Structure 1
Amino acid sequence: MRLRTLRAVPALAALSLVLSAPAFADSAGAPYGPLPPQNPATAANGTATMHGDSASSDTTPYAGPGTGAVGWSRTALASACPTIVIGSDAKPVALCTTIFGQTPTVHLLDPADGSDLASLALPKGSLFGGVYAYLDSGNALVVVDGNDNLLRVGHHQDAAGHWSLTADQSTPLAGAVPAGDNIVGLSPGWDGRIWFATGGGVIGTVDTGTGAVRTLSTGESVGNSISTVPGHTAVATDHALYLLTEAPDGTPAVEWRAAYDRGPGRKPGQLSWGTGATPSFFGPGDGTEYVTITDNAAPHENLLVYRVAGGPTPVCSTPVLTQYPASGTEDAVIASGRSVFVTNTYGYPYPALPAGAPASTPASAGFDGGLSRIDLDADGNGCHPVWNSAVKSAALPRLSLGDGLIHTLTVSGPTGAAGVQTFASYSYATIDPATGAQRSSSWIGVGLLYNPLQMTGTTAPDGTLYQGTETGVLRIARR
């Protein structure tokens, strides 16, 4: 039984904001954007998923803290918090994984000061089970627990003003998940069904109204989330990018499969062997014409861009971040209009790896950082580099269509395995997407309390940036 009626009110607010925002142009003079289509099953674009929207564009319609003075506070949760989403009630909801025990836990935060209003621990599953989720249009967090139940976790206030988090709906998926496997990614389609992918490569849909689940198996591993736009779902395995649709009964169907160069092994600074990127839909028309990932070629990864309607042959395949001896990424790209921005995480020292992750090739490497911008050619049949930046991003950056800046946290100082946890220094920074130049930097702190672990931040409509870290959540706002 469906316990919530989907509503599109948040989408109207986002659309109104974008239409009134200034147009920030790419290298060809065209404005960045548009935002992807607003998914009717999610909160507003920019705040609905880890990557902003169900298309995983890593853009937001909201202006961030900006280039001036900022203030910040830290909410200590003894957890790494990769997903922070915000609904129409302005309440941030964070999905975190505890440092001790790796228990996925949902937290409701106070937008006034970032304090923890309520929490709900979920049954433990895989590491990724405490990473990917989305906020629906009724402000409930949609997540899978360790028992393979698809949950809608709502937040509620009692007569005394106290908040609580409860699982308001539960749909069992265990019968569709092989023993020992776990669900990695979730994203809603436009027809009311929810798409999911498991670490073992099972891709499925579920109707939470009827409980019907339909699946197919790729036989390949999945290490990142999945993305949806009207009529299409994209899933990247450790061997290929899949574009899928569905039969009338919800059974997934492969439209095309594009194999990519997975390289000789897992690179240092990545969590799995294969692409480290969630697929991102983008385009200058309606935001869905193209889909892109990075491969795992050595020594330099390639940006691969496919025309959604064009099949498995990429319109763009170009090495990126070639200013360094080697490159790779565990981050999704930023994709907007005709522009794609790729972050280099090669050598980034994660404090923990997923169970079963193979040894890296090479065994270790220094972290150089770097960010590159690549634009599609005017005819849409090729691409070209625009700039390479030496910015050392420790978070997955996000492009704001509201202020025309890229927002991230940077790292300086010792960035080896011990350094990022002790003496490395972290700052909130803005980057000019037209040139790659750093526009501002505001120091935040030193050591593991502030390490963002290549996780992405979420900007609220009021301009406050919520950035997950290794131990909690940072709240960064204009002074």
Structure 2
Amino acid sequence: MRFALPARAAVLAVAALLTAAAAGPAGAATGFGPLPPHNPYAGPDGTATMHGDTGSSDATVLPGPRPGAALTSHRTALASACPTVLVGADGYPVALCTTIFGLTPTVHLLDPADGHSLAELPLTKGSLLGGVYAYLDQRDRLVAVDGARDLLRIGHRRTAAGGWELFVDGRLSLAGAVPDGDAVTGLSPDWQGRVWFATGKGVVGTADDRTGAVRTLVLPAGEQIANSISTAPGGTAVATTHATYLLTAGADGTPRVAWRQPYDRGPGRKPGQLSWGTGSTPTFFGPATGTDYLTVVDNAAPTVHLLVYRTGSGEQVCSVPVLKAGGSGSENSPIAAGNAVFVAGTYGYPYPKLPDGAGPSVPASGAFTGGFSRVDVRADGSGCDLVWDNRLRSAAVPRLSTADGLIRTVLRSPVIPGTDATSVLDPYSYAEIDPATGAVVRTRWLGSGFVFDTLQMAGTVAPGRVVLQGTTTGVLRIAEG
């Protein structure tokens, strides 16, 4: 998923093998896995990145609230849009937010018991696309790029007075690699401990803050990078507005192209998308190693396709039309685990603002009809099949738990039932979905209006069967109680 950051969207918000599914609903899918292997330079699987892991599976081995348990929800109001909520090995959530007033990127350390902010640290303001995509390293430090184009490692610790503080524990300038007027859109560690980064204008690089070495590759002119990147033992995946890449690094860390696959980008940006091209952060998945395949969704018109490639060779396994029942367009990273891929539609989603240079949409407008699809890669790898397709109105990036066999998201409902209309009064509900059928098995009302808008941001299943979900104005905490 990509959440448009203030500098780009003037703050859209105003701003181990996994376990087989158990204790899920009747008919729940089982045996999802394996997920991508653990990256030794990232935090816990499922909570270290916006998309769960460095392979961007959007899946987790952690279970959510138990079926039948009473649910509570609480909103921590931070006067900020909070697209990134991560949880370290110590159990403390770290949120990277951008203030509504002042558009200042700010890190918050949250109390795991109730979600309130224990400490905050403002970062240098600028064209901060890195203020959305960040990750936790193996020492629970938040790794991000600030507006001064510095690669930061931000830790947290107790103070002498018994409170908490956030502090910069490492800094490496990327100013020599990221041109003026450009900004980092995504970053992820590789298996050698280097940090890969990508910029909006098509620079891909590696940074080693142990040695200070920074190496870059400029992708073809006109190819922009509007989503984050993903890393696996076999390489780094980058999706530009024209093509999907697998990159590797030379002995000195210089990026090089292993393969490139162009996709159908359609006649223009679709309503409910933020750029002219794929809305996907590329996702590694597969039944053998967890990274056998790589997938994105194209921007073909009128119907988008799920594209699956073999990671090693770049050979295309399939191109399957998805989101046929609802609006056919997606700004979100797919969920993928084992042989299964799930795609949520965002066509027509009413973002408050669009990024500079987004251009007109084609068509000029569209209703938020919703859409959710499941595609399975055949066991013999000979192709893929559409399993189900519906009109679920997901307002967040869904997350699959392989522990309990449920997909979790937030649904946006119309004020007038039975319509596709949207308004600032729309109600939002937490929802659990059976991945075998696409059916909603439980919901809980969260609230109505702008402050509860989850704006296609990713939710995180945290330890203790808790779900943390960013909104336009803070963080929701959904738990048993």
Q: TM-score, normalised by structure 1?
A: 0.93
* Structure 1 residues 334 and 29: alpha-carbon distance in aligned structure 2, compared to 1, 3 A threshold: closer
Residue identity matched to 1:54? T
Q: Which residue of 2 aligns with 1:70?
A: 71
Q: CA deviation at 1:67?
A: 3.6
Q: Which residue of 1 aligns with 2:47?
A: 47
Q: Which residue of 2 aligns with 1:114?
A: 115
Q: Is the 8 A contact 1:432 1:438 kept in 2?
A: yes
Q: Which residue of 2 aligns with 1:7?
A: none
C-alpha offsets along residues 55-84 of structure 1, whole Å, 9 cap, x if unaligned? 000001011124432001110011111111
Q: Is the 8 A contact 1:246 1:252 kept in 2?
A: yes
C-alpha offsets along residues 25-79 of structure 1, whole Å, 9 cap, x if unaligned? 9x99871111210000111110000000000000010111244320011100111
Residue identity matched to 1:406? I
Q: Is the 8 A contact 2:20 2:30 kept in 1?
A: no
* Structure 1 residues 333 and 355: alpha-carbon distance in aligned structure 2, compared to 1, 3 A threshold: same
Residue identity matched to 1:239? H
C-alpha offsets along residues 396-426 of structure 1, whole Å, 9 cap, x if unaligned? 10000010000011011149xx975621010
Partner Cα separation in structure 1 for residue 480 and residue 55 of structure 2: 29
Q: Which residue of 1 aligns with 2:94?
A: 93
Q: CA deviation at 1:389?
A: 2.4
Larger displacement relative to structure 2 (457-466 or 65-74): 65-74
Q: Which residue of 2 aligns with 1:426?
A: 428
Q: Any residues of structure 2 matched to 1:193-204 within 5 Å, and which?
A: 193-204=194-205
Partner Cα separation in structure 2 for residue 20 and residue 382 of structure 1: 24
Partner Cα separation in structure 1 for residue 252 and residue 181 of structure 2: 27
Q: Any residues of structure 2 matched to 1:261-276 within 5 Å, and which?
A: 261-276=264-279
Partner Cα separation in structure 1 for residue 280 and residue 32 of structure 2: 21
* Structure 1 residues 459 and 277: alpha-carbon distance in aligned structure 2, compared to 1, 3 A threshold: same
Matched residues, percent identical? 60
Q: Which residue of 2 aligns with 1:320?
A: 322
C-alpha offsets along residues 439-465 of structure 1, whole Å, 9 cap, x if unaligned? 001111001111100011111121100
Q: The residue matched to 2:451 in structure 1 has which SS? A: helix
Q: CA deviation at 1:197?
A: 0.2
Q: Pick the aligned partner of 1:226 from 225, 229, 232.
A: 229
Q: CA deviation at 1:377?
A: 1.3
Q: Which residue of 2 aligns with 1:242?
A: 245
Q: Which residue of 2 aligns with 1:33?
A: 33
Partner Cα separation in structure 1 for residue 39 and residue 480 of structure 2: 30
Partner Cα separation in structure 2 for residue 367 and residue 206 of structure 1: 40
Q: Which residue of 1 aligns with 2:12?
A: none
Q: Is the 8 A contact 2:204 2:217 kept in 1?
A: yes
Residue identity matched to 1:429? A
| Structure having greater relative contact order (Cα 8 Å, sep ≥ 6) | 2
Q: Is the 8 A contact 1:347 1:366 kept in 2?
A: yes
Q: Which residue of 1 aligns with 2:183?
A: 182
Q: Which residue of 2 aligns with 1:131?
A: 132
Q: Which residue of 2 aligns with 1:61?
A: 61
Q: CA RMSD in A?
A: 2.0
Q: CA deviation at 1:296?
A: 0.4
Q: Is the 8 A contact 1:420 1:447 kept in 2?
A: no
Q: Is the 8 A contact 2:47 2:460 kept in 1?
A: yes
Partner Cα separation in structure 2 for residue 472 and residue 56 of structure 1: 23
Larger displacement relative to structure 2 (469-478 or 61-70): 61-70
Q: CA deviation at 1:190?
A: 0.3
Q: Which residue of 2 aligns with 1:439?
A: 441
Q: Which residue of 2 aligns with 1:470?
A: 472
Q: Is the 8 A contact 1:410 1:429 kept in 2?
A: yes
Q: Is the 8 A contact 1:270 1:346 kept in 2?
A: yes
Q: Is the 8 A contact 1:67 1:439 kept in 2?
A: no
Q: Which residue of 1 aligns with 2:307?
A: 304
Q: CA deviation at 1:102?
A: 2.1
* Structure 1 residues 227 and 438: alpha-carbon distance in aligned structure 2, compared to 1, 3 A threshold: same
Q: Is the 8 A contact 2:332 2:397 kept in 1?
A: yes
Q: Any residues of structure 2 matched to 1:204-223 within 5 Å, and which?
A: 204-218=205-219, 219=221, 220-223=223-226
Q: Is the 8 A contact 1:347 1:364 kept in 2?
A: yes
Q: The residue matched to 1:174 in structure 2 has which SS? A: coil
Q: Is the 8 A contact 2:128 2:145 kept in 1?
A: no
Partner Cα separation in structure 2 for residue 289 and residue 254 of structure 1: 18
Q: Which runs of 5+ in 1 are unaligned?
A: 1-14
Partner Cα separation in structure 2 for residue 432 and residue 32 of structure 1: 13
Q: Which residue of 1 aligns with 2:402?
A: 401
Q: CA deviation at 1:127?
A: 5.2
Q: Which residue of 1 aligns with 2:366?
A: 365
List 4+ stretches of structure 1 deviating above 4 A.
Answer: 27-30, 418-421
Partner Cα separation in structure 1 for residue 159 and residue 241 of structure 2: 46
Q: Pick the aligned partner of 1:291 from 282, 291, 294.
A: 294
* Structure 1 residues 24 and 445: alpha-carbon distance in aligned structure 2, compared to 1, 3 A threshold: closer
Larger displacement relative to structure 2 (444-453 or 93-102): 93-102
Q: Is the 8 A contact 1:190 1:231 kept in 2?
A: no
Q: Which residue of 1 aligns with 2:147?
A: 146
Partner Cα separation in structure 2 for residue 295 and residue 67 of structure 1: 35
Residue identity matched to 1:244? L
Q: CA deviation at 1:362?
A: 1.2
* Structure 1 residues 348 and 29: alpha-carbon distance in aligned structure 2, compared to 1, 3 A threshold: closer
Q: Which residue of 2 aligns with 1:382?
A: 383
Partner Cα separation in structure 2 for residue 392 and residue 131 of structure 1: 23
Q: Is the 8 A contact 1:34 1:284 kept in 2?
A: yes
Q: CA deviation at 1:381?
A: 2.1
C-alpha offsets along residues 357-383 of structure 1, whole Å, 9 cap, x if unaligned? 112111111001111000011211210
Q: Is the 8 A contact 1:420 1:451 kept in 2?
A: no
C-alpha offsets along residues 183-231 of structure 1, whole Å, 9 cap, x if unaligned? 1100000001110000000000011011100000013100000000113
Partner Cα separation in structure 2 for residue 62 and residue 403 of structure 1: 8
C-alpha offsets along residues 149-191 of structure 1, whole Å, 9 cap, x if unaligned? 0000111111221111111110000000112110110000000
Q: Which residue of 2 aligns with 1:332?
A: 333
Q: Which runs of 5+ in 2 are unaligned?
A: 1-15
Partner Cα separation in structure 2 for residue 259 and residue 414 of structure 1: 41
C-alpha offsets along residues 73-126 of structure 1, whole Å, 9 cap, x if unaligned? 110011111111001111000001112232211100001110011111111222
Q: Which residue of 2 aligns with 1:166?
A: 167
Q: Which residue of 1 aligns with 2:3?
A: none
Q: Which residue of 2 aligns with 1:353?
A: 354
